[in-house]
Amino acid sequence: MRRLALVTACAATLTPTGAWAGGFEGEYPDNGARALGRGGAFVAKADDPTALYYNPAGLGLLRGTNLLLSVNLVDVTHSFQRAPDIVQTNVRRSFGPIETDSAPFPAPMLIGHFDFEALPMLDFAVGVYGPSSHPNRSFPSQFPIASAVREVNGMSIDRIDKLRGVRDDALAPNGLIVESQMLLAYPTVSVAWTVTDQLRLGVSLQAAMMQATIKKAIGGVLPAVTELEFHDYFTPTGIIGVHYAPTSFLEFGFSLRPPISVEAEGTVTATRFAQCARGPCGTPEERADEPLGPYPLEGEQVLLDANGQPADGVTFDFDQPMITRLGVRYVHRVGEAELFDVEFDYVHSLQSVHESFVVGFDATQTVVEGLADPIPVPGIEDARNYQDTHGFRLGGDYAVLPDLLTLRLGGTYETGASPDAYTTLDFPGLDQWSIAGGFGLSFDLVSVDVGYTYVGLIDRTVTDSEAPLEDLQKVVADEEKIGNGTFSGHYHVFGLSTTWHL
């Protein structure tokens, strides 16, 4: 088992470079209701305190002291329809779908911007925010078995009664993900330098703080649900940005977040599935009345070090990619006022640097009932082989009532990070599209922005999955593959921001 934590698939949502649309759904659609209503096309405009995140050079476009309070409400739906498989003697099992079970989650953002009369060329900002994501996801621990039939002389004979009481066939652990509870915050300080009226430079310095609990199911000789609790309270990162406006109607934006390495630590536990669905196993006749499931959990599996003492410590290492944003914006003005603008952004994520998650265990062995010898607990290298992602965002504003009411519209398309064979439920990495809209109201002391984005994940059917149901007695190549089937999903994001001009 390169495995017993078997949670490596999920932790990427917490990484300091964020959870990006290609592989780690989480930071898209983006923070802030103004940008949300434009489909995230904001790197060249970046004219509110969220510039700290999109393009810190944009802070130089602000005047005075501004306080932004913002929240995104994120509602995520992911689902998977597993393909049928074969057990016993040519008995074909079919499965029902599994889907997320989680309530909408608020993702807040708090940023203060200010400047000093003594330093007219510099603007400053401080803030804290999390990714615009849903940190809590849960799925059934087992795939529901819908039917079991055997083909004989061209006829289908119902065999579901033969699965009752036979745990190896009636229990179908969800080896993709069971539950994730993840919290992440980015404390940030930023500065922007107005070099000339046309050129501005900026930088944001950040520290990522994260804490998470991830659960995943395993099968084989020891069907169980494993749980990993881990944290990384300080991983430095940052964002650099440039804003250039060569004319009154044309602006360019650029920002870059460099690659980083994450080294988290925590603990792992494993809880076994019950041998029988109803109490102790009985006679074959008694077991024939057992339901197909779901099977309950019954007791903790102890992990041991080389001296036979309990050891539950783990380390978790992985790399996160460089993220680059490029934007060009056309502005139509009437006098000095903007009537409307259109911005096109390209977002590149160097996901190909991420080949796998690596987990190390303090434990070296575990004892399984019914086996004479302990089973070794080696490290995990969970292959993902992500590919670079490319995002295209188009959006803009229209001043219906200048200085009072602004309408927004946007749309996007983004390629997925996961190759077909490595698609999983934790982060499917599917291609996706979105449509966005919103509006803003401006008053003397406060601006109010409302945004909404619908994101559709493009369905993907996998037939050659490399996602295994981990088995402590088998090498990866021999493990049952459970990622064949159809992955789909969508999510809704509502945003509300207020910017107070102090």
- Provide the token pair at 76: 């995520």
**Main-chain dihedrals φ then ψ at residue 84, nearest 5 degrees:** -60, 155
**Main-chain dihedrals φ then ψ at residue 169, nearest 5 degrees:** -105, -35
Residue 329 domain flag: yes
* Block mean pLDDT (10 aa), the chain, length 502: 33 32 50 94 96 97 95 91 86 90 85 93 95 80 89 70 75 87 89 97 92 85 86 91 97 93 86 73 65 82 87 82 94 93 96 80 81 75 85 97 96 94 86 97 96 96 90 73 93 95 92
Query: 189 by DSSP, 3-state: which?
Result: strand
Instruction: Give the C-alpha separation, 470 to 175, whole Å.
Output: 7
Distance of CA 86 to CAs 81, 93, 147, 369, Å?
A: 16, 6, 12, 27
> Which residues contact residue 443 at a Cβ distance below 8 angstroms, ignoring those fewer than 6 apart?
none
Distance of CA 480 to CAs 51, 477, 499, Å?
A: 47, 9, 53
Residue 439 domain flag: yes
Each residue of 83-108: b (16+ CB within 10 Å) or e?
Answer: bebebeeebbbbbeebebebeebebe
Place of tokens 């002389």: 153
**Residue 25's CATH number:** 2.40.160.60
The pLDDT assigned to 295 comes to: 85
Q: How many domains does the chain have?
A: 1
Residue 303 domain flag: yes
Distance of CA 270 to CAs 46, 222, 289, Å?
A: 47, 10, 28
Residue 278 domain flag: no
User: In 3D, which of 226, 231, 272 has the Cα closest to residue 4?
Assistant: 226
Find the radius of gyration of the CA atoms of the chain.
26
CB atoms within 10 A of CB 15: 27
Residue 402 domain flag: yes
Residue 276 domain flag: no
3-state secondary structure 35-96: HHCCCCCCCCCCCCCCHHHHCHHHHHHCCCCEEEEEEEEEEEEEEEEECCEEECCCEEEEEC
The pLDDT assigned to 211 comes to: 85
3-state secondary structure 112-180: EEEEECCEEEEEEEEEEECCCCCCEEECCCECCEEEEEEEECCEEEECHHHHCCCHHHHCCECCCCCEE
Instruction: Give the C-alpha separation, 408 to 41, whole Å.
Output: 11
Instruction: Give the C-alpha separation, 132 to 113, whole Å.
Output: 21
Instruction: Give the C-alpha separation, 456 to 434, whole Å.
Output: 6
Instruction: Give the C-alpha separation, 2 to 83, whole Å.
Output: 25
Residue 6 domain flag: no
Each residue of 51-74: b (16+ CB within 10 Å) or e?
Answer: bbbbbbbbbbbbeeebbbebbbbb
What pTM does this model have?
A: 0.88
> Which residues contact residue 208 at a Cβ distance below 8 angstroms, ignoring those fewer than 6 apart?
14, 15, 16, 184, 185, 186, 232, 234, 235, 237
**Domain span at residue 406?**
11-258+285-462+471-501
